[in-house]
Amino acid sequence: MAETGAPTTPVAERRRDLAPVVVAVASGSPAARAGLQVGDEIVRVDGVAPRDVIEWRFATDEADPLLEVVRGGIDLDVEVAKAAGEPLGVEIQSAVFDRVRTCDNHCEFCFIYQLPKGMRRSLYLKDDDYRLSFLYGNFTTLTRFTESDLERVITERLSPLHVSIHATDHEVRNRMLKNARGGMSLRWLRALLDHGIEVRGQVVVCPGVNDGAVLDDTLAGVLDRFPELASVAVVPLGLSQFNTEPAMRLHTPAEAAAVVDTVHDWQDVFLRVLGRRMVFAADEYYLMADRPFPPAESYEGFPMHEDGIGMARTFELEFTGRAHAATGPRSGFFAANDLPANPAAYTGLRAHPAAPAGTVTLRPRRDAPIGVLTGELGAAVIAPLLAGLGRDDLRVVPVVNEFFGGNTGVTGLLTGADVSRVLAAEPSGHRYLLPDVCLSDDARFLDGVTLAELPQPVEVVATDGISLRRALESS
């Protein structure tokens, strides 16, 4: 390793605010042997400044990369001896180095606009970045997509991407996005499909806006213009108590049932014309409409599981032992901003060596009664499964989301304040199981509350049926 400059060199001045920063170095890795340290800023790899973790992975996958590093304001060259394809052995602090492309739409149903003040700054980031779509499954509207972006996606085969459609009628889409480029931007969807990029679509349904005849028209437009789409998720808008848009309201049960019927009708059409169902309704719709969930085979491999499509059915299969691999959700609503870097650090019934002190507490009595903490929607799914075990020591503890209010009943949006309120009213001495999906990478809830601040100890369990079953079997 050789020093090449001083604190005020042009490299340091030009790139420091955009360079990836090392947050961990694996022991014995090529990076460790080369002397890389936590806090190092990687300015270039083999002379190229990576814009994001995608380019970073391509660059560091090569043999013997030369890294230009800024350490404490001093420029250093670090030569790393490694084989092509061998992991470098470092973790970096973010996925995008040249700043996330923010969203210039003003959708009335956007949940970011419905957040209260005082939460973590990262949660207020409203992105429309195709790179986060590829990396984390975030949905992009493509209104800020460019020819250069298309070229990169095609060249690097950044697939699958996730695209918010909402409506195929240009005027309706313009109104929903509050963006004059809304309807026109779907041309990029056509271009992506023309070049063989896998795309998963989404339609957020707003009652009185794009349901009913508009939803029929949208699905007809998908069949006519975008039949190569891998899948289309039809999901309800999420409303919190902080919503200020008077046109946005909750679905009635009858409206939810109408959406389910529309999706099923179009599934028949797609199956007949394309040989696959393509469009799927969110689990929430079946709960709102008091309809049974479709059989597992009708989900065609659960392509939209991360988007709340078929989660209930896969959880049931896992819990009852009919699925041997977990398909549980990777993260909560704010995936790109708070994706756990190492979920194993705080997930499971036994404390991981890397876990912060107090994040997981073992109950002194393994045979104590068990309460399974979950959101209101999760409770509707889990309660029948626990009842089927015939055990009187198990119960579901639903946590009503008073923090966000509205229809935010998903477990991934639970806050420490609401969990604390519920736990304070529960009997002590019981085991309480908490799904990991409501925690960030540092084991905090969305409102910043830590596990140590809860009024009773909890055991953090991965959010899938297999993990819950094993946790219950350990009692």
- Give the pLDDT band (50/70/90) at residue 37: very high
Q: Judge whether 131 and 140 are in contact, CB under 8 Å.
A: no
115: DSSP letter: P
- For the segment 422-443, the average pLDDT, to the nearest whole number, is 92
Percent of residues, the chain, with pLDDT higher than 70: 88
Distance between CA 427 and CA 370 in Å, rounded? 11
Region 30-35: mean pLDDT is 95
Q: Looking at residue 15, what is its pLDDT?
A: 46
Cβ–Cβ < 8 Å for 202, 233: yes
User: How confident is residue 329, by pLDDT bands cut at 50, 70 and 90?
Assistant: low
Average pLDDT over residues 335-356: 34
Residue 359 reports pLDDT greater than 60? no
pLDDT value, residue 277: 97
Domain-by-domain residue ranges, the chain? 2-92, 111-309, 338-473
Mean pLDDT over 387-401 rounds to: 95
Confidence band of 312 (pLDDT split at 50, 70, 90): very high
Higher-confidence residue of 212 and 365: namely 212
Interval 258-264 mean pLDDT = 98
Report the residue count for the chain: 475
Q: What is the mean pLDDT of residues 311-316?
A: 94
Residue percentage of the chain with pLDDT more than 90 = 73
Assess whether pLDDT exceeds 70 at residue 297.
yes
From the candidate CATH numbers 2.30.42.10, 1.25.40.390, 2.40.40.20, 1.10.645.10, the one assigned to the domain spanning 2-92:
2.30.42.10
Q: What is the pLDDT of residue 2?
A: 39
Amino acid letter at 410? V
pLDDT reported for residue 341: 35
The tokens for 255 are: 């409206």
CA distance 375 to 453: 19
What is the average per-residue pLDDT within 50-79? 93
Q: In the prediction, which pLDDT does 148 show?
A: 96
Residue 358: pLDDT band by 50, 70, 90 thresholds?
A: very low
The closest of 118, 142, 22, 112 to 76, measured between CA atoms, is 22
Q: What is the mean pLDDT of residues 8-12?
A: 41
Going through 33-73 in order, the beta strands assigned E by DSSP cover 41-45, 66-71
Q: What is the mean pLDDT of the chain?
A: 87
Binned at pLDDT 50, 70 and 90, residue 5 comes out as: very low
Q: How confident is the model at residue 304 (pLDDT cuts 50, 70, 90)?
A: confident
User: What is the average per-residue pLDDT within 182-197?
Assistant: 97
Q: What is the pLDDT of residue 328?
A: 59
pLDDT, tens digit (0-9, with 9 covering 90-100), for 108-135 = 999 888 888 877 777 777 889 999 999 9
**pLDDT (0 to 100) of residue 442:** 77
* pLDDT at residue 6, as a whole number: 36
- Report the C-alpha gap between 37 and 25 in whole angstroms: 7
Distance CA 125, CA 104 (A): 12
Residue 7: per-residue pLDDT: 39
For residue 8, pLDDT over 60 is answered with: no
Average pLDDT over residues 133-138: 90
Question: Residues near 151 by Cβ (< 8 Å), separated by ≥ 6?
Answer: none
- The CATH fold assigned to 111-309 is pyruvate-formate lyase- activating enzyme (3.80.30)
Does pLDDT of 349 surpass 50?
Answer: no
Confidence of residue 17 (pLDDT cuts 50, 70, 90): low
Going from the C-alpha of 71 to that of each of 7, 13, 37, 67, 397, the distances in angstroms are 9, 13, 9, 12, 49
